[in-house]
Amino acid sequence: MTTPVLELRDIVVRFGGGGGLFRPSAPAIRAVDGASLVIQPGETLALVGESGCGKSTLSNVVVGLQAPSSGSVRLLGQEIAGAGPAQLREMRRHVQMVFQDPALSLNPRARIGAAIAEPLIVRGIASGAALRQRVAALLAQVGLSEAYATRFPHQLSGGQRQRVAIARALMCEPEVLLLDEPTSALDVSVQAEVLNLLADLQDRRKLTYVMVSHNLAVIAHLCPQLGVMQGGEMVEMLSASDLRAGRVSHPHTADLRRLSTELEEA
């Protein structure tokens, strides 16, 4: 049996609690409440739900930006819940994140080549001509010429900046990419280009994707399976084809589908 790339079991994330000077009996907030999921190599899973449902918090658990209050997180068969800094540093070679707004995720004072090269420089993996060649090769893979390496983020369009963010995330050759609303900050005309790029990269590199999104049209383009969240819980797992056909079992999933249809028709 194939070992799952990512396996989350009964994840709970609590914030606050324990009282304070002005709220002595304030209860803890459960941002994620017992969520579980399993992703096999090469699969794409979307986490969907309304704002505040816990999907972003759960995604932060996946990349080690948020420690779970309880539960198990296994990456490539290795338990990482409760891992120390050294183990998390090694884990992040295998799972990287592409953030929602590339303008905020790129240093405005760093040239594009330096931004892409940074993960290998920090880890001491490559330098000099070998590093420049790797940067040029990655730029080519995301559809940008080597000349972009000398430019600054403000000199690029939104779509070009997101291509750079994707290239940087791929620099350490991870197995998993977590995509946090990767097209929501882009013009509609550019969104399809970035989604097609992600699909092509997944096919060539055998990547596993976890996509966080509220846009069901985007999800249907790239994600064959979905995890629907509400109030911190994973209320339903279903395929994109079942969603399109209306074969849903949870009322919240039906509401999301209805709202998405209404927006498309408006």
pLDDT digits (tens, 9 = 90+) for 123-164: 777 778 888 999 999 999 999 999 999 999 999 999 999 999
Distance CA 183, CA 233 (A): 25
pLDDT of residue 87: 86
Q: Which residues pair with 239 in a beta bridge?
A: 225
Distance CA(118)–CA(132), nearest Å, equals 11
1-15+28-58+69-84+198-266 CATH: 3.40.50.300
pLDDT of residue 25: 61
Q: Which residues contact 56 (CB under 8 A, 6 or more apart)?
A: 180, 212
What is the average pLDDT across 227-244? Answer: 92
Which of 80-84, 165-169, 251-255 has the least mean pLDDT?
80-84
Yes or no: say if 94 and 75 are a contact pair by the CB < 8 Å rule. yes
Helix (H, G, I), strand (E, B) or coil at 111: coil
Burial (CB count <10 Å: 0-12, 13-18, 19+), residue 56: buried
pLDDT per residue as tens digits for the range 29-72: 889 999 999 999 999 999 998 888 999 999 999 988 899 999 99
- On the question of pLDDT at 254 being above 80, the answer is yes
Confidence of residue 202 (pLDDT cuts 50, 70, 90): very high
253 close to 260: Cβ distance less than 8 angstroms: no
Domain residue spans of the chain: 1-15+28-58+69-84+198-266
- SS3 for 98? strand
Q: Which of 41, 88, 43 is nearest to 211 (CA)?
A: 43
Radius of gyration of the chain from its Cα atoms, rounded to whole angstroms: 19
CA distances from 61 to 64, 72, 108, 150, 163 (A): 5, 10, 27, 34, 24
Question: Who has greater pLDDT, 20 or 50?
Answer: 50
Nearest to 195 by CA among 174, 179, 173, 172: 179
Residues written for the chain? 266
pTM strictly above 0.75 = yes
Please state whether 101 falls in left (phi above 0), alpha (psi between -120 and 50) or beta: beta
What SS3 state is found at 20?
Answer: coil
Pair 176, 6: CB distance under 8 Å: yes
Residue pair 34/233 in contact by the 8 Å Cβ criterion: yes
CA distance 61 to 9: 12
pLDDT at 23 over 80: no
108-132, pLDDT tens digit by residue? 999 999 999 988 887 777 778 888 9
Beta strand extents in 40-81 (DSSP E only)? 44-48, 70-75, 78-79
